[in-house]
Structures are given as C-alpha cells and as structure tokens.
Structure 1
Amino acid sequence: MFWIIATLLALVAGGMLVLPLARKNETDTTGPSDVDIYKTQLAEIERDLNRGILSADEAEQAKTEVARRLLAADKTAANNNGETPRKIAIGAAVVSLVAVVAGGLGLYAVLGAPNADDLPREQRIADARAQYDNRPSQAEAESAQPTPEDIDLPDNLRDTVERVRQNALDNPDDIAALRDLARMEIIMGNTARAARAQGQIVTQMGGNDAPIDEKEALAELMVSAAGGVVTPEAERVLRVILDENPNSLTGLYWVGALFMQNGRPDQAFVYWDRLLRNAPEDAEWIANVQQTTMDLAWYAGREDYTPPVNTLRGPTAQDIENASEMDAESQANMIQGMVDGLMSRLANEGGTPDEWAQLIRALGVQGDTERAAAIWGEAQQNFAGNETALNVIRPAAVSAGVAE
C-alpha cells in the first residue's frame, strides 16, 4: 500500500513538472498571422506602384524588405507548427517523468526506510531515555571539541597570562586568584579551563551552598566547554540551581535545551514556557525562544498555545521615584495598596503561579502570615494536580513561614 501511494504521488508531482513540456505550443489564431500581414503588404505595394504613388525603384526596395520579413515569418511558423519539435518535446516530457518518478522512488529505497513500522510513543520515549542515559561525560564532550588556537600575544601579555595561571596554581584557595584565572581563560577562548576555575570558585564558596550566580556562571561555562551539550555533570549543577530558584533563567533555559537534545521536546516545552513567564520582556533572545516554544507546544499537546507575556506587575520606575520622596508611613501605604491590588486581581481574574508566589512572598515580608497561609492554601486548591505550578509557589510559601 505504501508503494502504491508513493508511486501515485510521484506520478502526480512528476506530471505537474513535465506537463508544460508536452503541451502543444498554441498560438493565437483569432487574428491574422505575420505571414498574412506581409502578403497583404506586398499586394498594397503593387497597387501603389500601379497608381503611381511609388516609383519603380521605391517599389522594388519595399518588396525586397517585405519579402525578407515574409520568409523569416514563414520559417518561424513552420517551426512552431512542425511535428518534429513537438515529438522532441513529448519525448523530453516522457523521459523527465520517468526520471522524476524512478529517481525519487529509487532514492527513497536507498536512503529511506520503506519497510519501517510506525514508531510507538512508548518506543520513542524509551529511545529518548537511552539517548539521555548515554550522553557523553563532561570530559568526553570537552575532548571532542577542537583545540583552541593559540593567540599570538606580545611578550609582556604572555608573561601576564602565565603569571595569572601560576598564581591560581600556587593559591588554589584564593577566590580572587581563581576569578582572575577564569576571566582570563574566557578571554583567551579556553572555556574548559575557565569552567574548571569557576568550579574551584564554587567549591571554595560552599559547593551547593555557593551563591546562585556563581553556580549559574559555572553551568554556562560547562555547557560552552562541551560544545553546547548539557552533560550529566552540567545537569547536576543546573538541578541544584533550580532547586534553589525554580525561576532561574539559566536553569530553565539549559534544562529545556537538555530535553531537546535528547528527544523529549514535550518536556523541553515545560521549562521554556516557564522561562518565558519569568523572562524580562526586553531580553534580546525573547523572540527566538518564543518561536521555538510555540514549535515545542505541539509535542506537548498544546496546539492552541500562545506564548505568555511576563505579567508580573511590580512597581514602575515612577512608583519607585515617588516612594523615595515619601515618609515611612506613606511608603507602607503604597506597598499595602500594591499588595491589595494584586490580591484583588488574583481573586477576580486568577493569575500565573509566579503572581501567586509574588503575593505570598509580599505578605510574608509584611509579617502577615495569616493571610499568606490563606493564599497558600487557596493556591494549593487552584493548582491541585499541577506539580509544576506548585513547585513555583512553594518556595515563596516556605520563605513566608507558612509551608515546610
């Protein structure tokens, strides 16, 4: 059945391509041909000669020119209407049709998989899992990258590079020395060395307890050193980042990329959708991520998906400027007004998990744990069964002291 359908489709496609070759060259027969016009002109020249309008020499010159054009037109008409060119056109059409159909089917037979069965969803997921489990390690991915070219540096700068490297080697516990080394290796294009230096910084600053921006820098350098591949070692850093901050742009982007690299675009959609919900609207990459996330939505069963716009409504620049000129009581009243406005909007219109988290966090800062607990309970009801949403809201509830 497959070959029958494929052959019919190839015939239809080939026929559309070669039909113009086989079509008869039809000319407009509603008016006189060029040959008829020139014959009429010869007759008119003869009449003008008989009437004395033209001299014998003038008539002869005119006849010669018209006769030349008549011969050319007659030859063109013969070529257009002849059988030999038409036979050639038909032959070319047949050869082209055979070439298109046979060539297409033959090429598919060699390069395609004509006898392959439909791949069940479970098998695709299993294949993706196998691909995920067999990713290269960080060392393997780095070794597969081309060796960075040496930069031709003046002697004084080369001495500086060696001095920075030696200083970090002699002082492995000196964060400042390691930070200088990481920066210099980035400039030199040695991202693998930069990643190792940043890893030492993270270790010296407490490992998993290091500041999140240091861990985000480490993850970025590890992925870059691996040629864009999110290795198991890089993934572990990213998971720590997302455990600490579920809305980390670095964590969301690269874990989403991890799933795309390993055949799970449906899972990538979950992370990149959340990325869009937390990204600043003026981010340079926002348009590209929006388009890709729309493509990923189909795999997640969200054909009607529309990329979100970051709707968190914090104070505007004008609000902040106005607040700086207020006394403490006026500032407190302004903040309370913002909190009340957000609470009213969520009650009447609903909102994103990030907005619920924003409200709970604000109430916690105000010390209004009673209302924070009530909002947390309401959020649990509204997002029951949506663990992704609750993972966004829960850290805010914990920080407000109303959840564990």
Structure 2
Amino acid sequence: MAIWWFLGPAVALTAVIVVLAVLGLRRGARVEVAEPGQRREMRIYRDQLKEIERDQARGLIAAEEAERLRTETARRLLDADKRGATALGESPASMKTLALVLVALAPILAVALYWREGAPGYEDMPLVDRYAQAQVLREARPGQTAMEAAWQDDPQRPPAPEIDPQYATLMGQLREALTNRPDDPRGLRLLAVNEGNIGNYSASAAAWIHLIELQGDAAPVEDLVSLAETMALATGGLISPEAEAVLERILQRDPQNGTARYYLGLMFAQTGRPDLTFRLWRGLLEDSEPDDPWVPAIRASIEELAAAAGVRYTLPPVTAGGRGPSAADVEAASEMSNEDRQQMIGGMVEGLASRLSNQGGPAEDWARLINALGVLGQSERARAIWSEARLVFADQPAALATIDAAARQAGFTE
C-alpha cells in the first residue's frame, strides 16, 4: 500500500509537468511558424509593392511593367498569407497529438524506471529510525573470533603466501620457545610481527593482545595500532567490537591518530552510518599528507560517502603540504631572506588559504594561516583572516581563544 502513496502524487505531478510542457511547445510552435517564416516573407512582399510604386512615380519603370510586377508580387503575398494560415490551423492538432502521447508515456516510463531502479514497497524510513537501525546493526555484529572464522571460509580470501622452509623452521622454534616462556615480552613482540609477516593474522593478533595485557596501561600507542591493524586484516577488513574497543583506546591517548581514525570510519561505514564515516574521513584527509597510507582509500570513496550522507562535496586536488606550514616551518622562514622565505612557505600558505576559504577547517588551521601570514609580512591579510575566523567560530570560545592567540603572536588584537 505504501507504494501507491508515493506513486499517486508522482504520477499526478508528472502529468501536470507534461501538460505545462505541451502548452509551452504549442506556443513555441506558433511563434516559430507564424513569425520567422511567413511573416518575414509577407513583409518583404509588402516592401516590394511600395518600392514598385516609388519606381513608377520616379519614371524608372513603365506603367505596364509596374502593373505586371504589382500583380506578381501581390500573388506571392497572398500565397504566403495562405501558407501561414494553413500552418497555424494545422499546428494545434499535431501538438495535441504530441501532448497526448507525452501524457500517456511519461507516467508509464516514470513508474517503469522506479520499478527497476527504486525500491517498490519499501516504506519511507525517517532519519531517526535509520540511525536506530544502524545502532542495532552495530550492536549485533559478531565477535572477532566469529569474523575471523568466517573470513577463513570465504572463497574470496587470497591464498596464504609461500613460506621459505628455513623461515618456517625459525617460526617453529620461536613458537616452541614461547610455549616455555609465555610471558616473555621480547619473544611475544617477535612472534606478533613475524606471524603477521607470513599472513597468519589471527596468531599475530593473539600475540599482540598477550603482549599488551602484560604491558597494561603502559602499552605504547604503536603496539595498540599494530593490534588494531592486525585484527582488521584477520577478518578481511571488518571491524569487530573488540577491534573497535582497541581503536577507542588509541584515540583516548592520541585523538589525531590517523590509523585509528581511518578504521573507526570504516566501522561506521560497515554499520550503516556513512554520515559519520564522511565526517571522520574528511577531517582525516585534510590533516593527512598525500603519501599517508589511508589517503588513496579515502579519496576513492569519500565522494560516494558524501552523497550517501546528503552532503555536497568536491574532492580537493592532491597537493603536498595540504596542512599548511608547521610551526617549525614558520620559525625557519623567519630567519631567511624575503625571497627565500616566499619560496619556502608561500605555496603552502596559499594552499591552506584556498582550502579554508572553500572547505573550512579547524581553528588550529586558521591560527596556522594567521601566523604564517604574519611571518610573511602580510599583516593586513592576516588581520582579515583573523576577522573572518572570528565570525566562523563565534559560538566556540575555545576556538576563539586559539585564533586570538595567533593574532597576538602576529602582533595585532582588537
């Protein structure tokens, strides 16, 4: 029943649009037939009649010749007038036929296209319900062990790499040594790395987990990142609840960690929240260098994610130094000559300014731009950027503090 609630108004709207289009076509057809063709021709013949009268009055042509020319021109004028009337008389009928055909075909074609490309019978789902369904999907994910088992049985899984016999012998010795000394941190790290090197990701993840448990809260972020990556590889790219917990642990300690932000965005995409994925990946892409490992994957799919999230987004071109000059860059530039300074950071500054103008960015990027412009001696431009940034972040006190601090460093305040 839900489909007819959609199709009924759609068909009616299609019919109205077609009728309006037909009326426009009829008007256009009349103008085309009556104005450009016949009326121009008739105007020419009238002008010729006047010219004949003038020539006769000046004695340029004899009376008999003038009469003959008038008769011939008048005949042509009458023929042109008849053709115009006939065309105008026939046009409405042809346009009426065209209108009937369009009115009959347009709704049928629209329904056929919807039936093929749409989802007949699928009721509309409010955004709140979609988010709730995504949350259910997220909570219903199988665990890491189940995902690993499913990936092992997946026919799309690539074959394991060939292992050199000598390397396999060394791996056997390492495993045996850890059987006798299971809590040896150095041995666990070697095992985790080398199991991953031979594609045995489940065993590698298990070794990382054991090592991190031994380390406790002192476990390095790098080890947590290695564990998260290995868990994703062990499931064929799916992010399990256990892997998600590791990612959250990483981001609590390092909120800007690129690997964790990428995999967390991947998890949201897998559980029906492309809007959150787009939000995470857009920020990550803006913070990344072109050679960061996650950049190609993000660039390949972020426009599709934006469309799914209902956001208009144009993928920016690949440019080195997209984050703008760092503090070290700016400090080094202050000691250079003006020419060298322009050559070093001028391109980076312009790239950052263009991105902030077109796409926006965090307060830190605005502050970096203000600082860079101050070093380059472009004080008026820096002040203008500062004023613009204060408007952008007017309702965010923390961001305003960051921007105002950059303004003070550049040598100006309100």
TM-score range, shorter chain: 0.5 to 0.7
1:120-131 matches, cutoff 5 A: 120-131=126-137
Tell me how far 1:191 sits from its aligned partner. 0.2
Residue 211 of structure 2 aligns with which residue?
201
User: Is residue 2:130 matched to residue 1:119?
Assistant: no
Paired residue type of 1:312: R
Paired residue type of 2:174: V
User: Is residue 2:160 matched to residue 1:173?
Assistant: no
1:250-399 matches, cutoff 5 A: 250-283=259-292, 286-307=295-316, 311-314=322-325, 352-353=361-362, 354-355=364-365, 383=393
Cα 1:197/1:266, change in 2 over 3 Å:
same
Tell me how far 1:223 sits from its aligned partner. 1.1
- Cα distance in structure 1, aligned partners of 2:220 and 2:367: 22
Cα 1:206/1:382, change in 2 over 3 Å:
farther
Identity fraction in percent = 32
Residue 78 of structure 2 aligns with which residue?
none
Cα 1:168/1:356, change in 2 over 3 Å:
farther
- Cα distance in structure 1, aligned partners of 2:245 and 2:196: 22
- Cα distance in structure 1, aligned partners of 2:220 and 2:366: 25
Tell me how far 1:155 sits from its aligned partner. 5.9
CA RMSD of the aligned region, Å?
5.0
Residue 220 of structure 1 aligns with which residue?
229
- Cα distance in structure 2, aligned partners of 1:170 and 1:384: 62
Cα 1:356/1:200, change in 2 over 3 Å:
farther
1:213-241 Cα shifts (integer Å, max 9, x gaps) = 11111100011112211111111111121
Residue 138 of structure 1 aligns with which residue?
144
Tell me how far 1:151 sits from its aligned partner. 7.2
1:259-302 Cα shifts (integer Å, max 9, x gaps) = 10011100111110111011112346534412422222233342
1:323-344 Cα shifts (integer Å, max 9, x gaps) = 6xx9xx969xx99xx9xx99xx
- Cα distance in structure 2, aligned partners of 1:146 and 1:294: 32
Match of 1:182 among 185, 192, 196: 192
User: Is the 8 Å Cα contact of residues 238 and 251 (structure 1) preserved in structure 2?
Assistant: yes
Cα 1:191/1:131, change in 2 over 3 Å:
same
Residue 236 of structure 1 aligns with which residue?
245
Tell me how far 1:252 sits from its aligned partner. 1.1
User: Is the 8 Å Cα contact of residues 250 and 257 (structure 2) preserved in structure 1?
Assistant: yes
User: Is the 8 Å Cα contact of residues 288 and 322 (structure 2) preserved in structure 1?
Assistant: no
- Cα distance in structure 2, aligned partners of 1:117 and 1:185: 49
User: Is the 8 Å Cα contact of residues 293 and 307 (structure 1) preserved in structure 2?
Assistant: no
- Cα distance in structure 1, aligned partners of 2:219 and 2:390: 31
Tell me how far 1:127 sits from its aligned partner. 1.2
1:43-71 Cα shifts (integer Å, max 9, x gaps) = xxxxxxxxxxxxxxxxxxxxxxxxxxxxx
Tell me how far 1:380 sits from its aligned partner. 9.6
User: Is the 8 Å Cα contact of residues 195 and 201 (structure 2) preserved in structure 1?
Assistant: yes
Unaligned runs of 5+ in 1: 10-100, 363-377, 394-404
Tell me how far 1:358 sits from its aligned partner. 6.4
- Cα distance in structure 2, aligned partners of 1:285 and 1:163: 35
User: Is the 8 Å Cα contact of residues 144 and 240 (structure 2) preserved in structure 1?
Assistant: yes
Report the 3-state secondary structure (helix = DSSP H, G, I; strand = E; otherwise coil) of the residue aligned with 1:263.
coil
Report the 3-state secondary structure (helix = DSSP H, G, I; strand = E; otherwise coil) of the residue aligned with 1:164.
helix
- Cα distance in structure 1, aligned partners of 2:366 and 2:252: 18
1:59-102 Cα shifts (integer Å, max 9, x gaps) = xxxxxxxxxxxxxxxxxxxxxxxxxxxxxxxxxxxxxxxxxx9x
User: Is the 8 Å Cα contact of residues 326 and 368 (structure 2) preserved in structure 1?
Assistant: no
Paired residue type of 2:234: A
Cα 1:211/1:153, change in 2 over 3 Å:
closer
Cα 1:112/1:137, change in 2 over 3 Å:
same
Match of 1:161 among 163, 171, 189: 171
Query: TM-score under structure 1 normalisation?
Result: 0.52
Unaligned runs of 5+ in 2: 15-107, 373-387, 403-414
Query: TM-score under structure 2 normalisation?
Result: 0.51
- Cα distance in structure 2, aligned partners of 1:285 and 1:269: 14
Paired residue type of 1:133: E
1:36-115 matches, cutoff 5 A: 114-115=120-121
- Cα distance in structure 2, aligned partners of 1:210 and 1:238: 14
User: Is the 8 Å Cα contact of residues 252 and 274 (structure 1) preserved in structure 2?
Assistant: no
Paired residue type of 1:131: L
User: Is the 8 Å Cα contact of residues 256 and 267 (structure 1) preserved in structure 2?
Assistant: yes
- Cα distance in structure 1, aligned partners of 2:160 and 2:119: 46
Cα 1:176/1:296, change in 2 over 3 Å:
same
